[in-house]
Structure 1
Amino acid sequence: MHIAIIGAGVSGLLSALELVEQGCQISIFDQQQVGKAASWAGGGILSPMYPWRYPRAVNELAQFAKTLYQEWNHKLQPVSAIDFQIHETGMLIFDEEDFEIGLDYKDRYQEPMQYAEYLQREQLEQINPLISDQFKHAIYFPEIANIRNPRLLQSIEQYLKQHPNVQFYQHTEIEHLDIENDQIKSIKSKSGQNYYADQFIIATGAWSAKWAEQLELSIPIQPVQGQMMLFKTPPNWLPTMCMNKVMYLIPRMDGHIVCGSSVAHVGFNTEPTVQTKQDILTACFEMVPELVNFPIEKQWAGLRPGSPDGVPYIGKMPNLNNVWANFGHYRNGLCMGPASARLLRQLMLNEKTIVNPQAYATDRLKQYLSAV
């Protein structure tokens, strides 16, 4: 079976991995370079931030993130020579209003990744002595890890590029879907080239609404900008991830610390702003005051695929026999990515599914069409 995947972010790449391992022939198209949009720009926390704030469907997929990435890293690293750097730092959350609900979530769902402990100041200092004196307590999630997403994307790209059943088409913007008899016959690039396949996957992230008119659906995906910064400290300087008021610090193994993140509805604009930079810095220095002593290496912004409730669309598109969706992950594309791709593969190949697929069904797109 020949499958064309439109979109080479983490959703498209992981979908390609899942399907090529089952003997499928894969063509991957991207309007830019592989993995250079939201997937590259994200922080890589392998859990939704404050999981209790999300629908159950988000956490159902996210709970598999660390174990599936560990499996893929073990398989891909010997070929790609790139380690994902899954960093098991745990996370401290300082939002007092979330303590009780976070601990209750842990007890209710018993997810290994969301095991949590309440810490008083003395315990907090033992786990992370760099935390500001103003924080007298926290909840600690020792099992939450982060992944170095640029390395993840590079490893998958290298693995797929050496695979005989994979063909990449970078800087190839797909503009038209040739629909005939309830299926896509071919896809056409902006330059006028036609490409043929048996099945087609739309994994175009923040750009997914562009297909609405051709598919005769309302696709409620909007770009949501998030700004980030990168500090450089000595290796292993910050022992844990930290979170407060939706701002976070994510330590990498080599001492880089990712800081973010903002939310702005500014269309497809990826220009960082001075004010947002200051807001992020203020929040980060409030958590770890000594961070002020280290240099900022980079500042950037990415575009998340904003969806109404953060629950992605995964499965066969309505009214079409050979078109599939894997988009709309909003802030959790990296942590939902592995299970989303596995679910899509299982649906396409009629296998037993990793989770109940109903919550992600694309018939929700029809509902939005009728509401317009």
Structure 2
Amino acid sequence: MHIAIIGAGISGLLCAFEFLEQGCHVSLYDQQHFGRAASWAGGGILSPMYPWRYPDAVNQLARHGKALYQHYNAQLLPQTAIDFEIEHSGMLIFDADDFAIGQAYAEKYQDPMQRCQHVQSEQLQRINPRLAATWQQALYFPALSNIRNPRVLQSLQAYVQQHPRAQVYPQHTIQQFKMRGQRIDAAITQHNEQIYADHFVLATGAWSAEWEQQLRCHIPVAPVQGQMLLFKTPAHWLPTMCMNDVMYLIPRRDGHIVCGSSVRHCGFDTRPDTHISAKIYAASIAMVPELAHFPIIKQWAGLRPGSPDGIPYIGAMPEIDNLWANFGHYRNGLCMGPAAARLLRQLLLAQQPFIDPSAYSTTRLHIDQQHIAS
């Protein structure tokens, strides 16, 4: 079976991995270089921020992320020599209004990753001595981890590029589908090339709504900018991730500290905003004052695929027999990505799904029935 995947961010690359592991042939297309949009720009926390603020459907996918990435890394590292750098750093959350809610969530769901404890004063300073003295209490999640997403993307890309049943096409824009009844006969590129496959997968992230007119349905996915700063400290300098008021610090193994994030509705503009940069900087210094002594070596912005409630669309697209969706992950594409790709693979290959797929169904998309009937 030949699967053509449109979009080579984390969702597209993970789908390619899943299908190749099942013996399928895969062609992977992206309008730019692979893995250079939201997937590269994100922080890589392997959990939704404040999971109790999200629908169960988001957490149902996200809770599989860490284990699947560990499995993939063990499999790919000998082949690609690129380590995902999964850091088991734990996280401290300082939002006092969330303490009781977070503890109640952990008690209710008994998710090992979300187990937490309320820590204060001396215990808090032992866990992370870099914190500002103003922080006297926090909710501590010892099992939360982060992943170095650019390295994940590099490893997956290397795996796909060297695979004998895969073909990769960066800077190839799929502009339209050539239909035959209720089935795609071919996809057509910007160079008028015709791409043939048994099935087509849309993993197009923030650009997914561009298919609305062709597919005659409303796709409520829009770009939402998120902005980041990067500090450079000594290796292993910051012992935990930190979060307050949706601002976070994520330590990398080599001493890079990723700081974010923001929400800005500005279309497809990826230029950092100086006001937002200043806000992220101030929030970072408020959590860990010593960061002021280290350089900011980079700042950037990425475009998340914003969708209602952040629940992605995974499964067969309406009214077309061989078109499939895996888009709309909003802020949690990295942690939901492995389970979302596995679920899509199981649905497309008519295998038993490992979780209930109904919450992600594309029947939530509004179809223009009048247009179809005509």
Task: Write the letter of the residue equivalent to 2:336.
Answer: M
Give yes or no for contact 1:219–1:368 (8 Å, CA) kept in 2. no
Answering whether residue 105 of structure 2 is matched by residue 89 of structure 1, we say: no
Task: Write the letter of the residue equivalent to 2:287.
Answer: M
Alpha-carbon distance in 1 for matches of 2:255, 2:340:
31
Answering whether residue 136 of structure 2 is matched by residue 149 of structure 1, we say: no
Give yes or no for contact 2:119–2:139 (8 Å, CA) kept in 1. yes
Task: Write the letter of the residue equivalent to 2:41.
Answer: A
DSSP 3-state at the match of 1:178: strand
DSSP 3-state at the match of 1:300: strand
DSSP 3-state at the match of 2:108: helix
Deviation at 1:354, TM superposition (A): 1.8
1:25 is matched with 25
Task: Write the letter of the residue equivalent to 1:211.
Answer: W
Structure 1 residues 255-286: Cα deviation after superposition (integer angstroms, max 9, x where no partner): 00000001000000000011010000010000
Alignment of 1:12-91 (within 5 A): 12-91=12-91
2:362 is matched with 362
- TM-score normalized by the length of structure 1: 0.98
Alpha-carbon distance in 1 for matches of 2:103, 2:367:
35
Alpha-carbon distance in 2 for matches of 1:42, 1:215:
29
Alpha-carbon distance in 2 for matches of 1:216, 1:26:
27
DSSP 3-state at the match of 1:309: helix
2:169 is matched with 169
Task: Write the letter of the residue equivalent to 2:104.
Answer: D
Alignment of 1:1-372 (within 5 A): 1-366=1-366
What percentage of residue pairs aligned between the two structures are identical?
60
Deviation at 1:367, TM superposition (A): 6.8
Alpha-carbon distance in 2 for matches of 1:332, 1:84:
17
Alpha-carbon distance in 1 for matches of 2:156, 2:135:
40
Alpha-carbon distance in 1 for matches of 2:185, 2:143:
46
Structure 1: any 5+ residue segments left out of the alignment? none
Deviation at 1:368, TM superposition (A): 9.2
- TM-score normalized by the length of structure 2: 0.98
Deviation at 1:130, TM superposition (A): 0.9
Alpha-carbon distance in 2 for matches of 1:369, 1:334:
34
Structure 1 residues 71-115: Cα deviation after superposition (integer angstroms, max 9, x where no partner): 000000101010000000000000000000000000000011101
Structure 1 residues 324-369: Cα deviation after superposition (integer angstroms, max 9, x where no partner): 0000000000000000000001101111212100000000002798
Task: Write the letter of the residue equivalent to 1:343.
Answer: L
Structure 1 residues 57-83: Cα deviation after superposition (integer angstroms, max 9, x where no partner): 000000001100000000001010100
Alpha-carbon distance in 2 for matches of 1:352, 1:193:
35
Structure 1 residues 216-262: Cα deviation after superposition (integer angstroms, max 9, x where no partner): 10000000000001100001100000000000000000000000001
Runs of 4+ off more than 4 Å: 367-370
DSSP 3-state at the match of 2:229: strand
Give yes or no for contact 1:220–1:368 (8 Å, CA) kept in 2. no
Give yes or no for contact 1:87–1:146 (8 Å, CA) kept in 2. yes
Structure 1 residues 284-324: Cα deviation after superposition (integer angstroms, max 9, x where no partner): 00000011000011000000000011000000001111000
Query: How many residues align structurally?
Result: 370
RMSD: 1.0
Alpha-carbon distance in 1 for matches of 2:136, 2:239:
18
Give yes or no for contact 1:52–1:101 (8 Å, CA) kept in 2. yes
Give yes or no for contact 1:318–1:366 (8 Å, CA) kept in 2. no
Deviation at 1:133, TM superposition (A): 1.2
DSSP 3-state at the match of 1:66: helix
Task: Write the letter of the residue equivalent to 2:278.
Answer: Q
Task: Write the letter of the residue equivalent to 1:357.
Answer: P
Deviation at 1:179, TM superposition (A): 1.8
